[in-house]
Amino acid sequence: MKTAVTALALILAAGPLSAGDQPRPEDLSWAFESSDVPLDEDFRFGRLPNGMRYVIRHNATPAGTAIVRMDVKAGSLDESPAERGFAHFLEHMAFNGSRNVPEGEMVPLLEREGLAFGADTNASTTFTRTLYKLDLPRADAGLVDTALMLMRETASNLTIAPDAVARERGVVLAEMRDRNSFGLRNTTDGMDFFYPGSLYTQRLPIGTTETLNGATAASLRAFYEREYVPAHVTLVVMGDIDVDAVEADIRRRFGDWRAHPSEAQPGAGPIDPLDADRIRIHTDPALSERVTIRRNAAYLDEPDTLANREQAMLRAVGYAIVNRRLGRLARSASPPFRSAGFGTGDMFETARSTALSVSTVDGGWRDGVLAAGAEYQRALQHGFTADEVAEQVAKLRTAAVNAAASADTRSNGALAQQALALVESRVVPTTARSALQRFEAFAPQITPAAVMAAMLREAVPLERPLIRFEGRKAPEGGEQALRGAWAEVQGAEVAKAAPTKASSFAYTNFGTPGRVTSDAKGPLGIRQVRFENGVMLNLRPTDLEKQRIRVSLAIDGGDRLNTLANPNATRLVGNLADGGLGRHGLDELQTILAGRSVGAGLGSGPTSFNAGAGTTPRDLELQFELLAAMITDPGYRPEGEVRYRQAIDAYFARLDATPKSALQARFGGLTSGGDPRFGLGTAEDYRALSYSKLKADIGERLAHGAIEIGVVGDFDEDTVIALVARTLAALPQRDAAFDGQDQQPPRVFPRGEPGQVARHVIHHEGPADQAIVRMIWPTRDDGDALEVARLELLHEVMDIELIAQLREALGKAYSPSSGSSMSHAWKGYGYFQVSASVEPAEIAATRDTVRKVIAGLHAAPVTDDILLRARAPMLERLQNALKGNGGWMSLVARAQSEPDRIARFQGAADLLRSITPADLRETARRYLDLNGGMEILVVPAPATKG
């Protein structure tokens, strides 16, 4: 069973390969036709006489919706040297007019139907495929028919007009500019080193400036007509649909598409399995230190069969154990590395590669390589223990049990992914219940010996490996030191792994169960319970996800504990889980909780500490015990603090490496007048933080702050009440209500001189052709629901206008955007912003264009059509919000302490419908002052002389 590479990120993970690399003959069969893996018969598979295939399935999760995907086997590997970037360029052109949809009308057509551009209407291009995506908010026959019509237009009827190509070229080049970062440069350098001379290293989907500038309507059309042929296309439709009707519509719409010869996709290589014993050192001021040791070998062609799935499972257990050992070291009190990973994977259908990667603090690479290498050698020399295998088997069993239990409520997206895996990777879609049965039958054969044998059959020995170092500065001793460190690893004898027998969970008794003092059914059927100790519990059973439960926890406190004198009081809250519990370190917890569907981890919001987890009915008791333990006995263990400190220097070292990160770091401070509670501060401020300080700053709130719990999903209400009673409701008395802001000074948007725009400049250290223009205006808090709706709708209108002006008409920016942020916690505080990534030379033109758009909103009401296009997706989102447990949780989580959330949701659609073009004009005039507000420019740092 093979998975094709579809993202650059995989290059620097694990992966195995092969040398001969001639194009493989086109295989247009379905994988299940030659596999013994039982097929999920609820999918309907078909093929038209012209060779086009389709997969359809009825599914009612979420009810009344559908998704459509069109997979085209045409990616950057199909390009000639002069066509680099054409597959991606063509994806852009799909939104620029066709035979039956005039240029510029496809996106508006979908927006009128309630699909938001980018969120519901999208596409992506990889090395091997182009995927077109439509998420339909309604599965009515008319909208499904429209979606199929648009896919048919994209398949063979694109106009590809010369003037449209000229405009879209600027957008594609802007995307290339925005994606150029230290991360991408590091990735491409790694590709070139590990796979020299291979085709895919010369075919990044974005293309090159030269070939994109050379693209013409004629050359793009030549690529389109050669690659977009019926045999390369598979249509996927999943949702609350009439399968027979959709199949008939597909046959009617695509049946007249003439068959064309299909060319085999070139292989991604060649990759030489004999390539060995080379070293590269790559430095960049933004890069954290990392060493990757890799060897490549021939591709193993393993069709999707039951036997091969069993071998894949055995291998997965082996790699997971090695990575578990590496993770244990990374979480120790004196870790030799920040993280490490070991694995083997396929590089397309060209080769396989085994890699050990080690990330360290600056200067720590040698200790890291020796420690990670010792674990690699330990696995080779001594294999695995029965307890280690049992831990991983428990995880596999839980995943299989959960999948089978929730199989009847899988989402449209999950089912579409199964269909696409069949098309793209020849993985047969099977039923979760049959998979569970096969797992249980095979589980007794998952022994340490079988795991080791399976892993060794696939893994490429790391002998005379390719070694690549990346970091801020070259390693002391250079290539010789790197080679010597690995030689030391290979020559070392290591002891067997120490036993890792799991103990039992220590937190099962929290005192006398709490007594319920009130119990009432509130709006939307949300049951609201209060216990004697003050704990609030909100319950909303649903049947949207079978055997799945979502739990939320809020504790009074949060970022309001940050003061002018102590602005970083809550900075370490997100790292608290790394400290484990008082009676269990994090590593021990992982062993105890293996195979259990629970989660814990605290974050800090504006006014509360928050936790969220997904669980099942059988693990719900443990979930509540874990949450109660997290509150009453956090571990504050030194190893967690060490992990936090390891990340500080790396974060600040790359802070200004990209315009986006430079802006993000300073935005809060600038829009709060330099208030230290909302600014970044210095690296020294962060180094001064500790668990002991955190305990002093938040301990009182953890012990006494008001608690509110939300539970949504498939559960018995009385069971949940009883479990909360003996855990969180058994704790000592809590505050009765959430406290708000106390007596802290307000958060204030800085006001400039009347009639003047306050301008700020931030310098970044990324490429010289990158800049950001951000314009911000103060608004207000979220106390008025109508004002919130007006500003949100104005933001949607602004996005439509920005895309039309900056992206499509001028080709200046890839993804201009706007947004409205209205604080719930800080009274009077809010802002509206517009942002665009552009070339520095285009800053003035971009600013002028934004001001022109705003002036237009001031001068006259928007058209009814623009209003429809902005409002329809918002209404559809509201209509579908409670078709998923996530939407329910947004209302259930704080149903008692913030009941206005529910009331606002219930009235939101009517408010949106009540807003007129005149209202939006008045809102724009009130807040978007052309002669006021703030402007932040992020530009390249001046070149240093010398």
DSSP structure string for 452-463: HHHHHHHSPP-S
CB 331 within 8 A of CB 586: yes
**Residue in this structure with the two tokens 């916690």, named with its chain if needed:** 825
Please report which confidence band the pLDDT of residue 501 belongs to, taking 50, 70 and 90 as the band edges: confident
Token representation of residue 130:
């182009």
CB atoms within 10 A of CB 93: 25
Q: Between the CA of residue 442 and those of 46, 406, 428, what are the distances in Å?
A: 33, 22, 19
Closest CA to 714 of 599, 887, 542, 539: 542
- Of 111-120, 326-335, 685-694, 922-931, the range with the lowest mean pLDDT is 111-120
User: Which helix (H) or strand (E) is 541 found in, with range?
Assistant: strand 536-541
User: What residue type is assigned to position 614 of the chain?
Assistant: G
Helix axes 86-93, 162-179, angle to 10 degrees: 120
Q: What per-residue confidence (pLDDT) applies to 6?
A: 29
Alpha helices for 141-181 (secondary structure H): 141-156, 162-179
Mean pLDDT, rounded, for 248-271 = 96
CA distance 29 to 705: 61
481: β partners? none
CA distance 405 to 606: 37
CB 832 within 8 A of CB 928: yes
Q: Please indicate whether residue 803 or residue 620 has the higher confidence score (pLDDT).
A: 620
Q: What per-residue confidence (pLDDT) applies to 21?
A: 54
CA distance 310 to 304: 10
Q: What per-residue confidence (pLDDT) applies to 5?
A: 30
Q: What per-residue confidence (pLDDT) applies to 753?
A: 84
CA distance 500 to 481: 34
User: What residue type is assigned to position 574 of the chain?
Assistant: G
Closest CA to 726 of 519, 504, 511, 507: 511
Strand residue runs (E) in 823-888: 830-838
Q: What per-residue confidence (pLDDT) applies to 15?
A: 31
> If DSSP states are collapsed to H, E and C, what string results for 91-125?
HHHCCCCECCCCCCCHHHHHHHCCCCECCCEEEEE
Contacts of 696 (CB under 8 A, 6+ apart): none
Strand residue runs (E) in 202-350: 233-239, 279-283, 289-298, 339-347
Mean pLDDT, rounded, for 379-403 = 97
Residue pLDDT, tens place only, 602-619: 999 999 999 999 999 999
Please report which confidence band the pLDDT of residue 140 belongs to, taking 50, 70 and 90 as the band edges: very high
CA distance 135 to 69: 9
Q: What per-residue confidence (pLDDT) applies to 22?
A: 59
CA distance 149 to 156: 11
Please report which confidence band the pLDDT of residue 815 belongs to, taking 50, 70 and 90 as the band edges: confident
Using CA of residue 119, residue 929, residue 845, residue 869, what is the dihedral sign?
A: positive
Query: Is a pLDDT exceeding 80 seen at residue 774?
Result: yes
Mean pLDDT, rounded, for 148-159 = 98
CB atoms within 10 A of CB 494: 16
CA distance 191 to 10: 10
Q: What per-residue confidence (pLDDT) applies to 863?
A: 97
Q: What per-residue confidence (pLDDT) applies to 24?
A: 60
Query: Is a pLDDT exceeding 70 seen at residue 11?
Result: no
Query: Is a pLDDT exceeding 90 seen at residue 498?
Result: no
Mean pLDDT, rounded, for 450-465 = 97
CA distance 726 to 523: 27
Mean pLDDT, rounded, for 562-566 = 95
Share of the chain above pLDDT 90, in %: 92
CB 352 within 8 A of CB 294: no
With 0-12 CB in 10 A as exposed, 13-18 as middle and 19+ as buried, what is 735? Answer: middle
CA distance 251 to 247: 6
Q: What per-residue confidence (pLDDT) applies to 660?
A: 96
Query: Is a pLDDT exceeding 80 seen at residue 17?
Result: no
Closest CA to 882 of 572, 619, 435, 542: 542
Q: Please indicate whether residue 464 or residue 4 has the higher confidence score (pLDDT).
A: 464
